[in-house]
Every structure is written in C-alpha cells, then in structure tokens.
Amino acid sequence: MFLHYLKYEILSSLRVKDLIFWLILFPIILGTLFKIAFGHLYEKFETFSAIPVAVVDEAPELDSEFVLKMEIFPTRDIIDSVSEGDQPFLKVTYTDRKQADELLKKGKVTGIISMEGKLSLTVHDSGIEETLLQNFVDRFNSSITVVTEAITSNPNAEAEIIQAISTEIKAVTDIPLTKGNTDYYTEYFYNLIAMVAMYGSLTGLNITIRNQGNLSKLGARKCCSPAPKSISLLASLIGSFIVQSICMLICVSFLRFVLRIDFGSRLPAVYLAAVCGGILGVSFGFCIGSIGALKTEIKTSICFAVSMFFCFCSGLMIGNMKIIIEEKAPWFNKINPAAVVTDSLYYLNVDKDYSRFQTKMITIAVLSAAMILLGFGLTRRKKYASL
Amino acid sequence: MEKTVVKIENLVKRYGELLALDHFNLEIKEGEIFGLLGPNGSGKTTTINCLLSLLTFDKGNIEIFGKKMTPVSYDIKKEIGIIMQDVAVFEELTVLENIDYFCGLYIRDKALRKQYIEEAVKFVGLEDFLKFYPKKLSGGLLRRLNIACGIAHKPKLIILDEPTVAVDPQSRNKILEGIEELNRNGATVIYTSHYMEEVEQLCTRIAIMDKGKKIAEGTKDELKRMIKNTETVSIDILNLPDEVKSEISALPHIYDTIYNGEKLTVYCSGGKHNLIRILDVLQKKDLSFGRVYTELPTLNDVFLEITGKALRDKEE
Ligand SMILES: Nc1ncnc2c1ncn2[C@@H]1O[C@H](COP(=O)(O)OP(=O)(O)OP(=O)(O)O)[C@@H](O)[C@H]1O
Ligand SMILES: [Mg+2]
C-alpha cells in the first residue's frame, strides 16, 4: 500500500510542470544570471595572482631612538615572507623611488610601498588590489606600534614578539585572499540554494492539499479509500522529500559543475546540507498547508510570500540583509530556515571543523521534525465541517 | 428478509445557518438500486458525504453493513465504491495510471488488480484512451474515467453522485446498463440524480428529497400511486366551446380541465377508458381535433404534487 502510494506520489509530482519550473529551471536561470552579473569579480579571485608592488627602501628621517627600534623590526623579512609560498600575496620589486614611479605610471605595479620606518603606500587607481595593499600596510603599521611598545616594556621577550607579529600579519593577508572576499559573492549562490530549498514548501503544501478532504476533490476521494490517512500522508511526505532532494542535487550540481562556483572542498557535505534544507522546505509547506481552513489559493500565496520573505532576510536580494538582522534580531537568523541553510553552507566553506555546521544541521532537523509533527497532528483530523 | 446495507437515522446537518439535512432517514436493502432524486441543492451530495464520513453532522446515526460508519471504518470503506459528483482524478496521471492508483488502494494483489482494471476499462469503454491525460479527455470521457476509478475494485456498495452529468445519451445508456449489470452481479447501488427519467428507468426504489427532507419514498409505482393523477390526456383542438369543456369536466374521474385555445389538457384520477369517453363527447358535438395523446404520471408529477413546484426546469 505504502509503496503503491509512493510510486504514484513521485510520478505525479515529477509531472507537475509548475513545480519543475520553480524547482529546477528557475534556479538554473537565476544562477546563470548571478554568474553573469558577478562572474568577472569572481574570476579575479579564482585566478588570483600576487599583487605587483615596487618597494623602496628609503632612509627614515625620524628620531634616532625610533630608528634604533626599527632596526630590530624585520620589515624586509615580513615583506619577503608574504611574497613567497604557494599563494604569494605580493610580487615585490626592490627599486629606488624614481624607477618605482616609472613602474607605477606604466602600470607595471599596482602600488609603491616605501619603507621609511613605517610603511607608506602610493597608488594611482582605486580598486580591490589597491584596497588589499592598503589593508596590508595599515596592519603592518599598527603592528609596529604594538611591537615597539612591547619591546620597550619587556626587552627580554623581543624575539618571541617579533615571531608572533610576523605570523599575524601573514595570516591577515591570507584571509581576504582565500575566503573573505569570495564569500561575499558565493553567498548569493548559497542563498540561491536556500531559495530552492524554500520552494520545497510548495511541494510540501501540495501534500496537504492532496490529502485533505476539504482542500481538494482528490483529497476527499482519497479519504473514502480504505488506506489509513497516516500511511497516505507519510508516503506523500517521503515522495516529496525524494523529489525535492532530486531538485536540490540538480541545483547544487549545476552551480558547482556548470557554473563552477567554489563551495569549498567538502562537496558531499554541501549536498547533504542542500538536501536537508530541501526537506526543511517541504516540511515547512506541509505545516503551513495543514494550518487553518483557508482556501488552496490563499495557502499557496502565503507559502510563496513567507518563503520569499525568509530568503529576503537571509540575503537573496540584498546581500547584507542577514548582517542587519543579526544586529536587530539575532534570534530570527537562528530560526529563519533560509538563513540556517545559507549559514550551514557558509560554515562548511569557512570553518576548519564541523562544529558550527553541525549546530545548523541540528537546527534543520529540529525545525523539520517540529513542522512535520505539527502538520501530521493537524492533518489527521478525519471529518470536515464543510467540503 | 434482505439485509440492510445502509441505514441513516435522523440525520441533521447544518452549514452555519443553512439547514442542509433536516432529520433525514433512509434505509437501503441489499441488492437494491436506490435512487435519491431531488432538485439542485436538495442535499443529495451532503447526504452522500455524511454517509462516507467525510462530513461532520449535527445529529443522527449512520450504519453501513450493520456497523457504525466512522472515518476509520476501513473494513467498510473497502467494500464501497464511490463516484463523486465532482470528478476527482490526478491531472498528472494517465487514464490507466489513475484507475490503477485508485484500484490499488483497495486491491493489493497485482494480477487480480490488472484483471479488474481491464474489466473496468472495458466497462466504461475507455480502451482507446488509456494513455491520455485527463486534461485531454472530453467532459463525458472524464466522467467515465471517474466511474472506472470508483468501481474497478468490484465493491459491494456503489455510490454514484450524478455520474451522468455531461455524458451524451448514448454513453449514458451504456453507463446505466453497466450499473444494472453491476447490480446483477451483487452490488447494492445508491444513485443520485436530478434526471427523473434516469431514476425511473434504473432504480428499484426511490426517495425524493427536497430542502434536506425526504418527501416521498417507494418504488416508482408506489410513488405514482401516492398522487391522484393517473393519466393526463392532451388533445389539440381549435375553437372548443365552453359548454363542451364543462361537459368534459363533468365526466367521472376527471379532476381538472385546462384549455388554452389550442390544446385541451384533461387530468384524470383513476377509472378506465377516460380517453374514449372524452373523445366520445367531442364526436357527439361533431368537433374535429388534431393530435391526441395520453401520458402516465412521471416522478415530476409526484414531485410537483407534493411540493407544488417542478422537479427541474423544462429546458434542462
Ligand atoms: N460547503 C458548503 N458550505 C455551505 N453550504 C453548502 C456547502 N455545500 C453545500 N451547501 C448547501 O447545502 C445545500 C445542499 O447541497 P448539496 O450539494 O447537498 O445539494 P445536491 O442535492 O447535491 O445538489 P446538486 O444537485 O446541485 O448536486 C445547498 O443549499 C447548498 O447550497
Ligand atoms: Mg450534488
């Protein structure tokens, strides 16, 4: 009986053209548009190459005590260290002022860093590379103050302090490169996945409509059959989960392998998060559908509107919406299904371990379970006052 | 004595203010084709939905196969075939898949189900449309699919709620014959309609409903005997003098005479040879007349006489 239900549940779901459009075609179109809109930006980071700079070593015209301290500060070592390795941050040309100006003019380098005790930066244009250089220089300079102060107060620990500070600067230049900046862009695709997951609510809503005697003729007809309603509901739910999961897998695969969006190295977990998100979406729709005695069309509109609201709040249309909400109502981000899904994907990419990801997955599980139980409780009512 | 299949006692159902069923009683015996006849809005569908435990009701008691009917009476539901007034099939499934789906809810054995489905398809004559989606079917074919989905599992009690709306006369006859055949094979049938001809032709017993009440019940002959009209004689005649009309009115067994300038209608109640006696009067006066015909009472007359209004509009 259960399998009989399941078979036709899946078969009929897969043939609903609306559903296929919203769940498969629409995200593919939107994803492609995102890619076209932000793609060039992304490419830059994808193929990030070291920023070319000219470094000018000029004699500091500062008071002798400071100069003394600067001599112990390994300016050159640090600059060298960020210019080495697998992913060098800078491509350094040591030269004098005149030649450096020449290079900058010709566009051979993005900026000139002059070592006159503190670092100072000369750039021509403004752009991402220039900003990154400025960040680096600022960071470097602020460290000098800290280091000099530390050394003054505790001359014995000099070596350790220098060690610590140079690691930190390296780390700082590392983060914007591999993560921070690309995330802003990838976030849109996380949101896209969350949107598809939330569209699952339409599939979920369909479950109640098709099983509830007062919502559809089909529901009424089913209620007359000798199959217990819980079995029919369960089959519908599982069928919808399967269909939704297929859509989620298609969506993630398309983004990852056709648009080549970088979701980090933990792809199986990304798929898992997307599938669980889809299940959450279906459960949400199922729950909405079972509340109240509203007409089918009204329920569909509510479902659509609420889903879009969730997506909006998690940043589908405006990128930093989630940040704004985090300040105003952080609890909402914790339970907004769309935000939970985007967060879980984000943490997968950013975090070294799975702890924050796990928290989000548990949230998804709890939310889904609660909605399914509520839905079941409300749908199982057997007789209706009016059909 | 035959077993009682359906028993409805004192059923009261309100939709808010509206009293849809007013202390409605019904008893249907095994092997009957029971007709529930009533105009639009008389409460036929409401009765069926209460019977199926789809609707809550305010008062009353419903038993099917001698057991109280509840939403979880799966053993009872197993034996019921329901053809709803509104077509209820999956838009996304083909004709064959739809029948298989519904039959599969009752019959688990695959081989048996296959055989039943084939029989159902033949029964409604949808052999050429198995791969069609419901959207591509005409109104009548869709109705037939609806019927096939309801009867494929060979239920003991078949409930049909206006199954022949929008079906052409030819397929309608086929459906009615089919229902008779199902009945011969042992099924009890409940048939609702506002087509009295259908009900007259098909049903062994009939209840007439109006405004949520049962106003009459019996075999069609019993129903017709309830009213005084036994025969209506109509004669096309021009220039009928008033005294002749009065003379005809004075004949025995005649309780009403209407003349509209072209046609004389005479309502008779009992007696024999009414027509001959009327024509005799006309002959004696040497009046020539055109077409002459007599009609036996219909269920419409029954309804008309009890409620004072026609069962349905003439043009329907
Ligand atoms: N869901 C509902 N809410 C309110 N009133 C209803 C509802 N369903 C039916 N009614 C009213 O109850 C009465 C009986 O309706 P019902 O559908 O049982 O009539 P019916 O005999 O089946 O008519 P038809 O021949 O048109 O199918 C009607 O007056 C109708 O307007
Ligand atoms: Mg009706």
Segments making up each domain of chain A, as ranges: 2-39+186-380, 51-166
pLDDT tens per residue across span B108-145: 999 999 999 999 999 888 999 999 999 999 888 899 99
User: What band does B312 get if pLDDT is binned at 50, 70 and 90?
Assistant: low
CA distance B316 to chain A (A): 26
Residue-level pLDDT at A352: 80
Q: If we measure between CA atoms, which residue out of B80, B81, B220, B57 comes closest to residue B148?
A: B81
Residue-level pLDDT at B18: 92
Residue-level pLDDT at B316: 38
- Report the CATH fold assignment for A51-166: D-Maltodextrin-Binding Protein; domain 2 (3.40.190)
pLDDT tens per residue across span A371-386: 999 998 888 777 888 8
Residue-level pLDDT at A14: 87
CA distance B207 to chain A (A): 24
How far lies A307's CA from each of A273, A300, A372, in Å? 18, 11, 17
Whether A271 contacts A230, CB under 8 Å: no
Our measurement of the distance from residue B157's CA atom to the centroid of its chain's CA atoms, rounded to an integer in Å, reads: 16
Query: Whose CA is closest to atom 5 on ligand 1?
Result: B15
SS3 state of residue B255: strand
End-to-end CA separation in angstroms for chain B: 40
Query: Whose CA is closest to atom 17 on ligand 1?
Result: B45
- Centre of ligand 2 from the C-alpha of residue A217, in Å: 13
**DSSP codes joined into one string, A238-267:** HHHHHHHHHHHHHHHHIIIIIS-----S-H
Ligand 1 binding pocket includes B13 (Cβ within 6 Å):
no
Residue-level pLDDT at B205: 93
Residue-level pLDDT at B310: 64
Domains belonging to chain B, first-starting first, are 4-224 (3.40.50.300), 231-296 (3.30.70.100)
Residue-level pLDDT at A43: 56
Ranges of residues in chain A with a pLDDT under 50 are 46, 175-181
pLDDT tens per residue across span B229-245: 888 899 999 888 999 99
Specify the length of chain B in residues. 316
Residue-level pLDDT at B227: 83
CA distance A215 to chain B (A): 12
Residue-level pLDDT at A175: 43
User: What band does B165 get if pLDDT is binned at 50, 70 and 90?
Assistant: confident
Atom of ligand 1 nearest to the CA of B38: 21
- Centre of ligand 1 from the C-alpha of residue B1, in Å: 35
B242 touches chain A (CB under 8 A): no
Give the percent of chain B with pLDDT over 90: 56
Residue-level pLDDT at A70: 59
How much helix, strand and coil, in percent to the nearest 5, is found in chain B?
35, 30, 35
Average pLDDT over residues B58-68: 93
Residue-level pLDDT at A373: 93
How much helix, strand and coil, in percent to the nearest 5, is found in chain A?
75, 5, 20
Q: Which residues of A touch B149 (CB under 8 A)?
A: 221
Residue A226: which of B15, B74, B84 has the nearest Cβ?
B74
Average pLDDT over residues B272-294: 89
